[in-house]
Structure 1
Amino acid sequence: MPESKIIYILAIESSCDDTSAAVLQNNIVLSNVVANQKIHEEYGGVVPELASRAHQQNIVPVVNQALAKANIDKNQLSAIAFTRGPGLMGSLLVGTSFAKSLALGLNIPLIEVNHMQAHILAHFIKEEPMSPPTFPFLALTISGGHTQIVKVADYFKMEILGQTLDDAVGEAFDKSAKILGLPYPGGPLIDKYAAKGNPLRFEFPKPKVDGVNFSFSGLKTSILYFIQRKTKENPNFIKENLEDICASIQHTIVAILMGKLKKAVKFTGIKQVAIGGGVSANSGIRKALQEAESNLGWKTYSPKFEYCTDNAAMIGIVGYLKFLNKDFSTQDVTAKARYII
């Protein structure tokens, strides 16, 4: 798409428990500020009511910080982009209401963004020496709330080829960590311990699901029963085998993801594969993709770590692309907890 003039986009992300604001100059990120909500750690997961309250407290200082870091005055902004969905309704309402009010006050366009599209299009943020995928490509979106394989024909022409029938892969990681007694969020901890473990030490069943759809609920149950059985035999089983358990769990989950990706590549003939979402930071899936480049002739794309988890920069790049198309929202727009690509 042509870049006819300098465009400044303020982006706001509030789909779950991170309040984030970013400023983009065209497709270049000037600032990307994220306020995490530590309060959920003591509950072992995100509490929606607490999340929405924290967003209300965080959104003004986060936006101010993003503008200050970008050295931009609010009157220089060309448009406000915000996450409309999917996500937690209470959290989305905070970001949506703030974005609508600010756009109205500044008399500039308002741009709604699909959170899952943003995870995919984060690859088009201009970052040297990284280059974006060319169309068409396959996108594997993996997070705490979603697991999808998407065929991407253009910026806004996407088709879901397969998705989870029950739990998302990020939830499978976090629930497995909880079974092992690890704190929330446990996915990164499984990745950390897995680095020192034997991935073939323990075998877990892989769900049999048709096509390129996923299922993780059965895997979580099998891990739970396995740990219960082993700790009954040996109360110190987890402590004595933690690294091998984590490595085996991660190996199984990555094998499930890669198995479905291979099917999708064979089905479509598309060998360009990009990943996005919080779980795309996982070292196991990144290593598996690198091996696929060498062994299968794929071209793979992994986002920078700061663009893996929920962040406003990815909302901003979608806002920029939509701005070029003059694809603006009205003040009647409302948040959508369920928002399909």
Structure 2
Amino acid sequence: MVKPEGQEPEQFNPQPQQTLVTPSEIILQTRQQFSTYIHVLATLLVLPFALLQFSQGNMLLTLAILVFALYNSVVAYVLFKHQHYLFNGWGLVLLSSGLVLYSCTLNGLIGLLWAYPAIATYFLLLPLRQATIGALIFFSAVTTIAMLTQDPTIAIRLVATQLLCIGFAVMFSWLLTAQQRKLVSIATTDPLTGCSNRLELNAALEESTYSRHRYQIPSSLIILDLDHFKQVNDSIGHTEGDRLLKALAKLLTSRLRVSDKLFRYGGEEFIALLPNTRLIDAHTLAEALRTGVEDGKFQLSASKLKPPQRITISAGVAEINAGEGWENWLMRADEALYQAKHQGRNIVVVSPNLSPKPVSLG
């Protein structure tokens, strides 16, 4: 990808650009919508019972129900208008639990029946670990009230059925969480190499760009490409070519830090995103990766090539400039890779800061 002659470098926009929605963001948006519906439904369902308690002269419980309804209305409004979840579900969970416990002491068995939807709110709104601990604490309080106020035959059945509901909720929440993680992994991981794919790349570049301009944290990119990969595939077959790609990904991963991120950018292209890394350090790493490919493990496949040749990589390196957008940063690294190919391959070319044209340091 080559920048048109005379084009000004793209300037960084301090507002994050949502150019691509990731699976994690989709899950978050869905949970927020779901939570909004729960708060609206809770508001609508409890209001008639406020009238009922008022007619029975239970003024304190009536006031508590109205406060509960008002709180849910405010949370639903803020979620809908500003996509911000007040107290992350804990407000509804604690308020509903308190209401149920008070109703249990006031109304006996009728109040105990509300323990079931209260238990459900824990697992609908909270992470699994928090939901399980909170639900068990609430269950213990309800059990104590039931044993003290109800006939033992009724109390035992209440305890057993509520415990069964908690068990079912734990299993369902665990299964749902595991499926979400698996789907996110499938959507964001390259199935051949195990690297992150392009779906995650844009978001990661936006994050690094924001960190550079907001907190002056440097970041660098390395774009790597297996040289003559089409000829390699044609000569030794796609199965061996896939093995080479997996071996390259394994080598790159072994040389990167935990904070670094590796993406498969194209057929034989990879991108290493190096947070908190200056250009000179990124260049040193790129050279180490280039020489690492030339060892014997990769050359086992090279002996099968016709005509025989060494398996090598070329690389382009760029550090993000002040005021630069991530698209231009990526383009400079891509241009550096193009120069490495043009200069004979098996070299690393660096795109220096504040310069539109890459130069070789190797």
Quickly name the TM-score band, shorter chain normalised. under 0.3
Q: Structure 1 or 2: larger helix share?
A: 2
Which structure has the larger Rg over C-alpha atoms?
2
Q: Structure 1 or 2: larger strand share?
A: 1
Higher relative contact order at CA 8 Å, sep ≥6: structure 1 or structure 2? 1
Normalised to the residue count of structure 1, the TM-score between the two structures is: 0.23
Normalised to the residue count of structure 2, the TM-score between the two structures is: 0.22
